[in-house]
Every structure is written in C-alpha cells, then in structure tokens.
C-alpha cells in the first residue's frame, strides 16, 4: 500500500502527523500491511521569502492551526495567529517534542521539497523518510534555516544521496515539485498534512487510532486502477474548473506531447487556451478540431466565441449558428 503524505515541511502539524503515522504503522492491527510512505509537497506559506527572516508570531501565522474547531492541520490561506496554540503545545509534548519547540526562521520550503523529491527518486521511500525527518528536526528543533543550501547539502550527504549538492544547485526536481503542487490542488488537497491512499484522503495530524482505522478501511477497499493518462486528464480538468487554465495546461502538456491526436485532450487544451486568453492557439487548434470532427457542436461553439474575441464577428456567427442548430442549448 502506498501512503502519500501531502505536507509542508514548515507545518508543525506535519511533524506531529509524522510521529502519529509512525505509531499507527507500528500497531499490530497494521502488521503485514507493507506500507510505502511517500512525501509530497504542499505550501502553507507561498509568500515565504527565499532569504530567511527571523520568525515572529505574525510572520508564522501560516504555520498555525487551520481553525479552532479543526486544529490538527495547516491551511492556505494562513489562519489567524494564535488559533488554539495551547492544543498544539499540548499535543507536541504528548508526542515527545520538547517545550518551546518551534521555528526560528521564516523560510521558503521550496528547495527542501526539492531535496525530499530527489531523495525519493534516488533512494526510495526509506531514504526520503530520513531526509524528511532531518529537515523537520532542523527547522523545529535545531533552529536552522532550511532554505540554506549548505544545510540541505549536509542533510543529503548524511542520507547518502549521491551527487545531491550538484543536483540541488542545478535546479533538479524544481519542475517535479511545481507539478506535484498542481496535482495536489487538482486533487482538492487543502491542508497539511493530508494522508492519501488511492482516492481516499484523511486530513490533519489525526490520532494514531484514527489513522489505523483509515488505513484498515483503505486496505480493505477495492481500488479501481485508472490509467496514468486518464488521471492526468482528470487533474487537468479539475484545475480548469478551479479557474487555473495555465496550471491545467502544465499538467496537460505530456498528454499533448504523447497523445496530441486524441480529441478529448485537444478539446481540453482549447478550453485552456481560450480561458487563458491564448486566442491564436485556441483558434488554430479549434480550426483543426472542427475539420477532424465536424459534428462536434461544442468545438464549433468554442471556435465561434474565439473568433468573436478576435474580432471576426461575421465568421463567428456562422459557427455559432451551426453549433446552435446541432445543440439547441447552445443558442
């Protein structure tokens, strides 16, 4: 079973959630589960500076609980500082963290997420888990700046990731992290941490017994394997529905490269181009789409609307009339 942990490395609940997941996996109820834990990136503070600044209560508001009634997670946009701080301190103590634990720096976690991604690519889940532990310890217990490249080099070296310093300095895994952030958004992951198994999700640093119940149910459920291409298409559609056509195009690009003749891929791409105001690209693709599928009323509707926005009202009217004749709802 693959357990994905979508979390930000500057989220205190992610550290607590890691401890609680480890306790859950060590229980007899999950013996023989054969779990692979894979960490995925999430950002609770997208505005964090690339050069770290001293942390203070206001600056670290994004690392606080989401709400007083749902306190076991970090959310975007940042919640007000001071939401249920006593509960965070209490639970941290219960999980073995020392009094006064917390970050000294407000820092971007992007490079740390890159290192975590590289750890999985070059060493698998065991090495990745070790890197995650070291990054979290550095940020919350050692008062270190996890945006400091030299610190990340040291962590990579201790974890045995060959050539990690060169990989980090060359920008490796940058696009992978950005793509996973988009995938998380497409999958409606809205808090850190969130555990995902298949199409099931558990948000927050839940108690071990809740995690055990979640994983037991997930293990007993029949999972419907979906081809990678179909999943990517669904994620792209989700981002477009969330009014992120540029993000949708990023996730769609591999399908355009490999399956550029597929009508569904082309239809989605034209919608993305249209809604991101890339009208020339939308126009060219829609022209070919209408030629290849003349009975596609929606393609004709989109072509008509694109021509309108390009100022070709007379030609647009022809396609809009045809679209309405084929599908009266388009009138």
Domain boundaries, the chain: 2-220, 228-330
Confidence band (pLDDT; 50, 70, 90) for 223?
low
The pLDDT of residue 108: 95
Number of CB atoms found within 10 A of residue 68's CB: 12
The pLDDT of residue 75: 74
- The per-residue pLDDT for range 110-156, each reduced to its tens digit, is 999 999 999 999 999 999 999 999 999 999 999 999 999 999 999 99
Measured in whole angstroms, the distance separating CA 57 from the mean position of its chain's CA atoms is 26
Q: How far apart are CA 85 and CA 94, in angstroms?
A: 14
Alpha carbon dihedral 216, 38, 188, 233, in 10-degree steps, equals -110
The answer to whether residues 53 and 59 touch, using CB atoms and an 8 Å cutoff, is yes
Q: Domain 228-330 in CATH: superfamily?
A: Tetratricopeptide repeat domain (1.25.40.10)
- Cα–Cα distances in Å, from 79 out to 5, 34, 51? 21, 36, 23
Task: Classify residue 133 as exposed, middle or buried by CB count within 10 Å of its CB (0-12, 13-18, 19+).
Answer: middle
- The per-residue pLDDT for range 39-52, each reduced to its tens digit, is 999 999 888 988 89
Question: Where do runs of H (alpha helix) occur along 141-189?
Answer: 149-159, 164-169, 174-186
Confidence band (pLDDT; 50, 70, 90) for 76?
low
Q: Which CATH architecture has domain 2-220?
A: 3-Layer(aba) Sandwich (3.40)
pLDDT value at 85 more than 90: no
| Closest to 189 (Cα-Cα) out of 242, 152, 243 | 242
Q: What is the pTM of this model?
A: 0.90
Higher pLDDT pick, 90 / 289: 289
The pLDDT of residue 66: 41
- The per-residue pLDDT for range 172-217, each reduced to its tens digit, is 999 999 999 999 999 999 999 999 999 999 999 999 999 999 999 9
Confidence band (pLDDT; 50, 70, 90) for 70?
low
Task: Classify residue 57 as exposed, middle or buried by CB count within 10 Å of its CB (0-12, 13-18, 19+).
Answer: exposed
The pLDDT of residue 78: 47
Q: 33 Cβ partners below 8 Å, 6+ apart?
A: 1, 25, 215, 219
- The per-residue pLDDT for range 240-299, each reduced to its tens digit, is 999 999 999 999 999 999 999 999 999 999 999 999 999 999 999 999 999 999 999 999
Q: Which residues pair with 53 in a beta bridge?
A: 106
The answer to whether residues 5 and 38 touch, using CB atoms and an 8 Å cutoff, is yes
């Amino acid at each position: 079973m693959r357990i994905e942990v979508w979390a930000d490395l500057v989220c205190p609940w992610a550290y607590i959630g890691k401890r609680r997941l480890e306790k859950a996996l060590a229980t007899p109820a999950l013996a023989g589960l054969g779990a692979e834990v894979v960490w995925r990136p999430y950002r609770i503070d997208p505005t964090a500076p690339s050069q770290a600044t001293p942390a203070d209560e206001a600056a670290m508001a994004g690392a606080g609980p989401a709400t007083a009634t749902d306190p076991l997670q970090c959310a975007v946009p940042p919640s007000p500082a001071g939401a249920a701080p006593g509960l965070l301190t209490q639970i941290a103590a219960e999980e073995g963290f020392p009094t006064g634990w917390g970050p000294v720096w407000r820092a971007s976690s992007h490079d740390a997420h890159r290192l975590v991604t590289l750890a999985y690519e070059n060493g698998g889940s065991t090495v990745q888990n070790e890197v995650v532990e070291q990054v979290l310890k550095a940020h919350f217990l050692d008062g270190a700046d996890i945006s400091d490249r030299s610190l990340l080099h040291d962590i990579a070296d201790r974890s045995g990731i060959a050539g990690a310093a060169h990989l980090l300095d060359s920008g490796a895994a940058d696009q992978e992290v950005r793509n996973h952030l988009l995938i998380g958004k497409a999958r409606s992951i809205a808090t850190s941490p969130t555990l995902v198994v298949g199409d099931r999700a558990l948000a927050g640093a839940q108690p071990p017994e809740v995690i055990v119940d979640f994983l037991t149910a997930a293990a007993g459920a029949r999972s419907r394997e979906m081809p990678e291409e179909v999943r990517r298409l669904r994620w792209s559609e989700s981002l477009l529905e969330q009014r992120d056509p540029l993000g949708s195009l990023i996730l769609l690009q591999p399908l355009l490269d490999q399956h550029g003749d597929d009508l569904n891929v082309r239809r989605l791409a034209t919608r993305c181009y249209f809604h991101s105001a890339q009208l020339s690209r939308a126009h060219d693709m829609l022209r070919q789409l209408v030629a290849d599928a003349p009975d596609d009323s929606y393609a004709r509707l989109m072509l008509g609307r694109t021509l309108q926005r390009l100022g070709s009202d007379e030609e647009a009217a022809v396609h809009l009339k045809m679209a309405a004749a084929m599908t009266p709802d388009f009138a």
